[in-house]
Every structure is written in C-alpha cells, then in structure tokens.
Amino acid sequence: MTNPLDDPNADPFEVASAAASKIAEITGVEKHDFALTLGSGWAKAADLIGETTSTFPGTEVPGFSKPALEGHTGQIKSVQLPNGKRALVIGARTHFYEGHGVRRVVHSVRTAAATGAKIMILTNGAGGIKEHWKPGTPVLISDHINLTAASPLEGATFIDLTDLYSKRLRDLARGIQPDLDEGVYCQFRGPQYETPAEVQMAKAVGGHIVGMSTALEAIAARQAGMEVLGMSLVTNLAAGIQKTPLSHEEVIAAGKEAEPVISGLLAKIVAAL
Ligand code: 8IG
C-alpha cells in the first residue's frame, strides 16, 4: 500500500487533516482534547486513563506506517476519561531511523492536532546519563538537543522553542510526584545506540537523556500550537555510563517491569489536565 506522505507534492497538513477525519469516522468522536504517544514501557497507561471506546490499527488511517518494532503496538485508541474528556492514544510511532523521512515521523503528532488536541504528551524509553538514575526511573523532559540534523519544519518556518516542554505541565506532574527528576533529552538518529564517546559528548553539551524519537515530534507539536509534556522512562544507563553492553531485550524487560508504576503516574497526570 502506498503512503500519501511519500508523494513529495502532498501537503502533510492536508494528509493529517484527512487522517483526523478518518479517526472521527472510526471512533464517532468529533474532537479529542489531548493526545498521548506511548513509547517503550508506557503502553499500559492507555488502560488506566479511562474507558477505551475504540481501538484500531494505525494502518487504517491515511499516512500512518506499519510499526517496525517489537514492543510497539501500532494501535490507536480513543479513551474517555472519568471527567468526560477525550484522549487520543497513539501506539504507532514511526522513528526517524526507519528512513521514511520526517513527514512520516511527525504525522501522528500533526494528526493529533487536527483531531483538536491542545496538549501532546510524548513518552519514550531512553538511556540515562545521570548515574543515580536506575533503570525504571521516569524523568520529565525539560528541554532537548536535536542531534538528528533534521527538522519537521519545511522552508523558512521560524518557530520559537523557548519553553517547548511546558513548565506548567512539568509543575503539574511534580504536583503528583514531587521527586520526579527532569533532564535535557538528546535525540540521536540511531538505530545504533551511542558510543561511550558520543554519550560523553551529549553530557558535555548539557544532555541528560539519550533517545531516538521525541525531539522531532515535539517540534512538530509546537508548530501545530500544542502544549507539550515529554517524559522518558530510563530503561538503561547510556553506553559507557552503564558498564555492561546495551541490549534491546534488556531495554524491553526494564520497560515491562516499570510499566505498571509509570503508567499509573501518567494516568494521574492526565486526570489532572
Ligand atoms: I530504550 O541508550 C533506549 N533508547 N539513543 N540511547 C538511545 N536511545 C535509546 C537508548 C539509549 N535506550
């Protein structure tokens, strides 16, 4: 099946608008209030937030790609909160390292905005640079350093990224868990994990978390006018900080173990929005 975003003449915002219409048709929900992208370790949050009224594969929606990775469900859900609000839950992240271009990477974020979402919650599994972070520690993203040499913005689109990761939402999260730490997220292109020297570079320039997903999505969310909350689950210490080699299996296992706790935390945050 061809993806409309692969046509260089396509307008990515029109594709996002078509995707939002399709979601409204499938879910019967005209407007969602906020959206969550659930990365490794965060998937259970969907069940704790409220009542799931629709679940469907992203592949039913224009522009979405098949998930490339184990531990990523590829499902989209519409969830009704006890307070009546509506959350769009996206388990269908496309990573930059898949090589399909940035338009596909940020399509879910643009679609979320087109469904009416005013807040974008971006979660991920990532490597930690601060040594006292044990695997399983959730961390708020306070800012990012985009090391992908890519951008979702096209042309002379100058967008302010001061306070990209909303102070208001970080404070709200800390109101629920006061000891939540925060850090600067460095996005690498991947898919290889960093070398220890690259991790030291990230540390030297002010990074605390290394990952492969969230910075590009956050930029697109800001362009779309959404308020952003970013959270990383530290599933491993970054290469060279942890003395043992990194393995994808270990990362998945750490995510599974932390899942009930961090998903509970995320559900409480969402209830307070
Ligand atoms: I989970 O150590 C996870 N994702 N770049 N580095 C990068 N991405 C990650 C890591 C990590 N762990």
- Matching residue, tokens 């605390």: 208
Q: Give the pLDDT mean for 98-127.
A: 96
Q: Is the pLDDT of residue 8 over 70?
A: yes
Q: What is the DSSP string of 45-108?
A: HHHHHSEEEEEEEGGGSTT-----STT---EEEEEE-TTS-EEEEE-----GGGSS-HHHHTHH
Q: Give the pLDDT mean for 199-207.
A: 98
Give the domain extent around 211. 4-271
**With a 6 A CB cut-off, is 108 part of the ligand 1 pocket?**
no
Ligand 1 atom, smallest distance to 254 CA: 1
Distance CA 77, CA 58 (A): 9
Q: Which of 97, 246, 256 to mutate to test the pocket of ligand 1 (most atoms within 8 A of CB)?
A: 246
Partner residues linked to 228 by β-bridges:
120, 165
What percent of the chain has a predicted confidence (pLDDT) above 70? 97
**With a 6 A CB cut-off, is 230 part of the ligand 1 pocket?**
no
| Nearest residue to 127 via CA among 67, 198, 76, 216 | 198
% helix / strand / coil in the chain, to the nearest 5? 35, 25, 40
Total-model pTM: 0.95
In the chain, how long is the greatest CA-to-CA distance?
50
**d(CA 104, ligand 1 centre) in Å:** 21
pLDDT interval class at 40 (50, 70, 90):
confident
Which positions ≥6 away from 234 have C-beta within 8 Å? Answer: 126, 127, 128, 133, 134, 135, 136, 137, 138, 139, 209
Look up residue 241 and give its two tokens: 């900080």
| Nearest residue to 49 via CA among 107, 92, 90 | 90
What percent of the chain has a predicted confidence (pLDDT) above 90? 81
**d(CA 140, ligand 1 centre) in Å:** 16
**d(CA 231, ligand 1 centre) in Å:** 14
Q: Give the pLDDT mean for 24-41.
A: 94
Ligand 1 atom, smallest distance to 127 CA: 2
What is the CATH classification number for the domain harbouring 11?
3.40.50.1580
Task: Report how many domains make up the chain.
Answer: 1
Q: What is the pLDDT of residues 145-190, one digit of tens each?
A: 999 999 999 999 999 999 999 999 999 999 999 999 999 999 999 9
Nearest protein CA to atom 11 of ligand 1, as residue: 127
pLDDT (0 to 100) of residue 204 = 98
Which positions ≥6 away from 70 have C-beta within 8 Å? Answer: 252
pLDDT interval class at 65 (50, 70, 90):
confident
**With a 6 A CB cut-off, is 198 part of the ligand 1 pocket?**
no
